[in-house]
Amino acid sequence: MRELAPADAVLTWYDQNARVMPWRVSPQDRAQGVRPNPYHVWLSEVMLQQTTVAAVRDYFRKFIELWPTVEDLAAAPDSDVMAAWAGLGYYARARNLLKCARVVTQDYGGHFPQSQDVLQTLPGIGGYTSAAIASIAFDAPAAVLDGNVERVMSRLHNDSSPLPSAKSQFLAYAQEMTPQERPGDYAQAVMDLGATICTPRKPACMMCPWADWCDARAAGTQLDLPVKLKKKPKPRWFGYAYVGRRADGAWLLETRPDSGLLGGMLGWPGSDWSDKPSGHPPCDAEWEDLHSTVRHTFTHFHLQLTVRAARLPLDAAPSRGHFMTQEDFCAGDLPTVMRKVFDRARSHLT
C-alpha cells in the first residue's frame, strides 16, 4: 500500500536531494520563510533556455555581480550586457533580457508580475519561462515543462506519443499532477528528478521516488521513452571573416545588426552566410587567405568560415566596421564563433 501521494513522495525526495544552484533557495531555507528572488529566478531561467546548468552557473554569478537588481540591468549599456553574455549562445535571449528588464523597471516599478498570463506579455518570456517564474518565485500552481519533465511524464504514463507534437499532452499530465501545496518546490523537484534520476540513457529506477507509480518501469519500456521525431539534417552554410589589425594595434570590428543571428554582438566584418557567399573585404589591403576554416554549429545549420587576415595602415578607411584599441579589445566579449576566428588569425597579426 502506498503511504504517500506522488507529489508528497517527490517532495520528500527533493528535501533530501535538491541540487545546489546559485539562484535557488534550498527547500530547508524555504521552510524557514526565505523567498526566492524573482529577478534571480527570471535571469536563471532565461539563461537556462537551451543551455545546461553547468554552462550557466558562472554567467549567472557574473551578471548578479555586475547588475545586482533588475533596475541595475535595465540601466546597463546594451554593449556591456551583450559582451557579458558572449559565449552563452542564442543571443536573441540577451536582447530580450534587456528589453524585459526595462519593461519591468519602467512599467512595474522593478517588481515582476506574479501572474503567468501577465508574465507572458513581457519580452522573451514564453509559456515555459512564465510558468517557471510564477511557480518558483511566487508559488503559483503552474505546470513547468522542460526537457527533463517531458521525459519524466512520458515514462511515468508510458506514453509513446512522439515529441515535439506530444508537448501539449505532457503539459496536461504535468498540470494534473502539480499540487497546491509547495508548487515551486514541486516544479524544481520534478526537474531535478529528470536531471539526476530519470536520465535519458541510464535511469536509476531503483532510486526513483516515483518507481511505484511509473507505468514505463512496470512495462519495461523506460529506455524507449520519450519517442522523438527524427530531425531533418542541418544544412551547411559558408562565409568569409576578415580580421584586420591597424599599425597601432587596433582591431577592425563591427557590431552586428540587432536582428538576425548574433544580433547586437561584436564580430569580424564578413560576408553573408549562404551556400554561395560573396566575399567583399571591408577595406583595401593585402588580405591573406589563411587557408584555414572555422567550423561552428548553430541551432538550424552548420557554418564554415574562411578566415582572411591583413595588417592595415593607420589611415585605413573601412567601408564598414570600426576600430577598437588594443586596450579596449577583449576577445572574451566576442561570441564563440568569432572567438574561434580570432584564435585562428591572431598568430598572423601579433
Q: Name the grid cell of 162.
A: 512522439
pLDDT in tens, the chain (350 residues): 345 689 999 999 999 999 999 999 999 999 999 999 999 999 999 999 888 899 999 999 999 999 999 999 999 999 999 999 998 888 889 999 999 999 999 999 999 999 999 999 999 999 999 999 999 999 999 999 999 999 999 999 999 999 999 999 999 999 999 999 999 999 999 999 999 999 999 999 999 999 999 999 999 999 999 999 988 899 999 999 999 999 999 999 999 888 788 888 899 999 999 999 988 999 999 999 998 899 999 988 999 999 999 999 999 999 999 999 999 999 989 999 999 999 999 998 87
pLDDT for the residue numbered 350 = 79
**Does some domain include residue 183?**
yes
Residue 127 is part of which domain span? 6-224
Domain boundary among 170, 199, 224: 224
Choose among 230, 217, 232, 231: nearest CA to 154.
217
Are 262 and 297 part of one and the same domain? yes
Are 216 and 249 part of one and the same domain? no
Distance (Å, whole) CA 168 – CA 173: 9
Q: Quote the pTM value.
A: 0.84
Q: Evaluate whether 186 touches 140 at the Cβ level (below 8 Å).
A: no
Are 181 and 65 part of one and the same domain? yes
pLDDT for the residue numbered 231 = 85
pLDDT for the residue numbered 75 = 98
Are 212 and 240 part of one and the same domain? no
Q: Evaluate whether 60 touches 43 at the Cβ level (below 8 Å).
A: yes
Are 126 and 252 part of one and the same domain? no
Amino acid making up residue 288:
E
**Does some domain include residue 312?**
yes
Distance (Å, whole) CA 240 – CA 149: 41
Domain boundary among 157, 190, 224: 224
Are 55 and 198 part of one and the same domain? yes
Cα–Cα distances (Å) from 11 to 90, 209, 261, in that order, read 33, 9, 41
Are 102 and 32 part of one and the same domain? yes
* Cβ neighbourhood burial of 245 (10 Å; 0-12, 13-18, 19+): buried
Domain boundary among 174, 200, 224: 224
**Does some domain include residue 230?**
no
Are 124 and 269 part of one and the same domain? no
Amino acid making up residue 239:
G
Distance (Å, whole) CA 192 – CA 14: 8
Where in the sequence numbering do the catalytic residues fall? 45
Peptide bond into 226 cis (omega under 30): yes
pLDDT for the residue numbered 258 = 80
| CA 52 remoteness from chain centre | 8
Q: In CATH, what number is assigned to the domain containing residue 196?
A: 1.10.340.30
Distance (Å, whole) CA 297 – CA 193: 30
Q: In CATH, what number is assigned to the domain containing residue 337?
A: 3.90.79.10
**Does some domain include residue 1?**
no
**Does some domain include residue 17?**
yes
Give 213's DSSP letter.
G
Question: How many Cα atoms within 13 Å fall on the side-chain side of residue 255?
Answer: 9
Tell me which residue has cell 500552481.
Answer: 141
pLDDT for the residue numbered 263 = 84
For strand 302-312 and strand 236-246, is the pairing parallel, antiparallel, or unpaired?
parallel
pLDDT for the residue numbered 279 = 83
Are 307 and 252 part of one and the same domain? yes
Q: Name the grid cell of 175.
A: 498540470
Tell me which residue has cell 531535478.
Answer: 192
For the chain, percent helix, then strand, then coil, each to nearest 5?
A: 45, 15, 45
**Does some domain include residue 130?**
yes
Are 175 and 320 part of one and the same domain? no
**Does some domain include residue 229?**
no
Are 207 and 257 part of one and the same domain? no
| CA 273 remoteness from chain centre | 23
Are 27 and 117 part of one and the same domain? yes
Distance (Å, whole) CA 175 – CA 265: 38
Distance (Å, whole) CA 277 – CA 280: 10
**Does some domain include residue 231?**
no
Count of structural domains within the chain: 2
